Amino acid sequence: MNKIENNKAWFLVLPVFILVAFSAIIPLMTVVNYSVQDVFDTNTRYFVGTEWFKAILNDAALQSALMKQFMFSFTTLSIEIPLGIGIALLMPKRGMAASLCLVLIALPLLIPLNVVGTIWQIFTRSDIGLMGWSLREMGVAYNISRNPVDAWATIILMDVWHWTPLIALLCYSGLRSIPEAYYQAARIDRASRWAIFRYIQLPKLTNVLIIGILLRFMDSFMIYAEPFVLTGGGPGSSTTFLSQALTTMAIGQFDVGPAAAFSIIYFLIILAVSWVFYTTIMNMQKEK
Amino acid sequence: MSWMVWTTPTAGFFIGIGLILASMSIWQYVSPSIERKGFLPIKTTRGDRLFIGLLTSAFIHLGIVGFTDLSILVATAISAIWMAILMRWG
């Protein structure tokens, strides 16, 4: 049967389009305008063409911030996704225990970002923080303000603690939507635990995992408040991620021209990576 | 409008994008696009190819402006050729 296409329905999207234009498209256009000028105020500005883009793309500090950002997103995603799935599989399916587990697991998600930073900042201090103190008593030389490896490990641990629950909750809801009959059929076929996971649970989780991976990638790629509070980007600039470098440039130094060029490059990278993720996963589903 | 600090080149750029979107909408309305497989590894509609083309053109421009001393017009010319190939055979 041929489906009749009626594109007139698109006109119903018009109100949303106007709203998005006001809140996102017009500001983005302004950013593009800023990126080609040296702006002092609205009356004093000079057209500089593509100079800012050239400067930003060749800035060694920003190149390293970009590399660090990719490393950070890749590491946290590759820990959080399997761990989240694992937690969801282990969670009790019904009764009081299930509710209790859900509440406990959702707790980190309810904490504001800068508070998460503060909690971990205190947690890792060797004088009053439980983790910092314990490590010192065990004789481990651990100092996030001196040792870049410690700082990195702590930031990754913090992100995993904060965001794995999101993946776990999404996967839990995905698992709950699988009808019992599938498991019964698997038991009749004497399917192994791994076969059940691979051929029943994982395919049913694809949809929630797409959303989970996209959300976590975009969020981790834009991370700001937590490392800013925990390490302030240090030691040196070892944990200065892109958004912090951008904020320092735009607000700290008020270099709106270079900051605008930087924002556009940042935006294009997020757009490209998210699109690739989305298309690959959507295509994997279509082929099934 | 003065707070948006417009310049002639950026105004031209956005008018161009606007015209492309408007003409693609009219084209879609007159003859709806059918998803097909070209040299790209996925099935695409006309709009998908336009999006891929615009995004890759942006990166072509960044690459040429950032890492070579060539004029930005070279990047625009390469992008235009790439866009034409992509829309026709992509």
How far is it, in rounded angstroms, from Cα A43 to Cα A40? Answer: 8
Closest CA to A232 of A258, A252, A261: A252
Give the up-direction half-sphere exposure of residue A284: CA atoms within 13 A in the CB hemisphere: 10
* Closest partner CB to B66 (pick from A36, A47, A54): A54
Chain B closest CA to A152's CA: distance in Å?
30
Question: Nearest 5 degrees, angle CA A125-CA A127-CA A132?
Answer: 40
B7 vs A265: CB contact, 8 Å cut-off?
A: no
The model's confidence at residue B2, banded by pLDDT at 50, 70 and 90, is: confident
CB-closest option in B14, B51, B62 to A29: B14
Residue A3 pLDDT exceeds 70: no
Amino acid identity of A145? S
Lowest mean pLDDT across A37-51, A261-275, B62-76 = A37-51
CA–CA–CA angle B44, B50, B53 (5° rounding): 100
A2 touches chain B (CB under 8 A): no
Q: Which of A206, A226, A229 is nearest to A278 (CA)?
A: A206
pLDDT at A32: 92
Q: What is the DSSP string of A68-109?
A: HHHHHHHHHHHHHHHHHHHHHHHS--SSHHHHHHHHHHHGGG
Backbone angles phi, psi at A38, to 5 degrees: -100, 105
Could you state, in order of their start, the residue ranges of all structural domains in chain B?
A: 1-32, 35-90
Q: Does B85 contact chain A (CB < 8 Å)?
A: no
Residues in chain A with CB shorter than 8 Å from the CB of B67 are: 57-58
The distance of B61 to chain A (nearest Cα, Å) reads 10
Beta bridge partners of A37: A47
CA distance, residue A6 to nearest chain B CA (Å): 10
Looking at residue A288, its pLDDT comes to 61
Query: What are A165-198's pLDDT values in tens digits?
Result: 999 999 999 999 889 899 999 999 998 889 989 8
Cβ–Cβ contact A176 with B under 8 A:
no
Q: Which domains does chain A have, with CATH numbers?
A: 64-287 (1.10.3720.10)
Residue A30 in contact with partner chain B when CB distance is under 8 A = yes
- Look at residue B32 and tell me whether its pLDDT is greater than 60: yes
A250 pLDDT tier (thresholds 50, 70, 90):
confident
Collect all residues of chain A within an 8 Å Cβ-Cβ radius of residue B47: none
Query: Which pair of tokens denotes residue A165?
Result: 């629950």
- The answer to whether A32 contacts B14, with C-beta atoms less than 8 Å apart, is yes
**Residues whose CB is less than 8 angstroms from the CB of residue B20 and which lie 6 or more positions away in sequence, other chains included:** B50
Whether B5 sits inside 8 A of A33 (CB atoms) is: yes
ipTM of the complex as predicted: 0.91
Cβ contact A127:A133 at 8 Å: yes
Residues 52-71 of A with CB under 8 A from B: 53-54, 56-58
Please provide the distance, in angstroms rounded to a whole number, between the alpha carbons at the two ends of chain A.
22
Q: A20 CB contacts (<8 Å, ≥6 apart)?
A: none
Q: Which of A32, A276, A285 to mutate to test the interface with B (most CBs of B within 10 A)?
A: A32
Chain B closest-CA separation from residue A32 CA (Å):
7
Q: Is the peptide bond before A235 cis (omega within 30 degrees of 0)?
A: yes
C-alpha count within 13 angstroms, C-beta hemisphere, residue B10: 19
- Give the tens place of pLDDT for each residue, A96-131: 888 999 999 999 999 998 899 999 989 988 888 899
pLDDT digits (tens, 9 = 90+) for B39-68: 888 888 899 999 999 999 999 999 999 898
Cβ atoms < 10 Å from Cβ of B45: 14
